[in-house]
């Protein structure tokens, strides 16, 4: 993780250009990676670094069983950030969790497959 943060500090635009396509997945749709890269590049690097630190260094697994309201986990296939084992772990450890495994791949279904994501959320809310 420290190497990731050092790369961010040394070359934020390069970091964005390399990481965004991997996070997005969907290599057959390069416009999605470009969109995410542009989004990363338009973010203040200091804010992005703090977000990355919180995201990658926090561990709140012990809190999951305390969640007592219905929740939805949208799980994409081929997600390098959150593989299927993460979704199943969340499902197993949150009492009222619904796990929805999507056809979408990558880590950003709200970008790559927005209609599938909206449909899953709508179905859960109904």
Angstrom distance (rounded) from CA 95 to CA 64: 8
pLDDT of residue 3: 87
Phi-psi region of 43 (alpha: psi -120 to 50; beta: other; left: phi over 0): beta
pLDDT of residue 28: 95
Q: How far is CA 41 from CA 4, 25, 89, 114, 122, in A?
A: 16, 18, 32, 22, 31
* pTM to 2 decimal places: 0.84
pLDDT of residue 30: 95
Block mean pLDDT (10 aa), the chain, length 126? 87 90 94 94 90 91 97 96 96 98 96 98 97
pLDDT of residue 72: 98
* Of residues 26, 9, 40, 46, the one with CA closest to residue 113: 26
Per-domain boundaries in the chain: 2-57, 62-125
Residue 94 in contact with residue 119, Cβ under 8 Å?
no
Q: Which helix (H) or strand (E) holds 72?
A: strand 71-77
């Amino acid at each position: 993780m420290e190497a990731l943060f050092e790369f961010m500090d040394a070359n934020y635009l390069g970091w964005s250009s390399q990481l965004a396509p991997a996070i997005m997945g969907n290599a057959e749709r390069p416009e999605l990676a470009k969109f995410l890269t542009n989004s990363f590049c338009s973010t203040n690097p200091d804010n992005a670094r703090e977000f990355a630190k919180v995201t990658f260094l926090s561990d709140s697994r012990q809190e999951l069983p305390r969640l007592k309201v219905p929740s939805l986990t949208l799980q994409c296939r081929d997600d390098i950030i959150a593989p299927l084992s993460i979704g199943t772990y969340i499902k197993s450890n949150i009492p009222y969790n619904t796990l929805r495994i999507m056809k979408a791949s990558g880590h950003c279904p709200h970008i790559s497959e927005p209609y599938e994501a909206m449909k899953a959320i709508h179905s859960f809310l109904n």
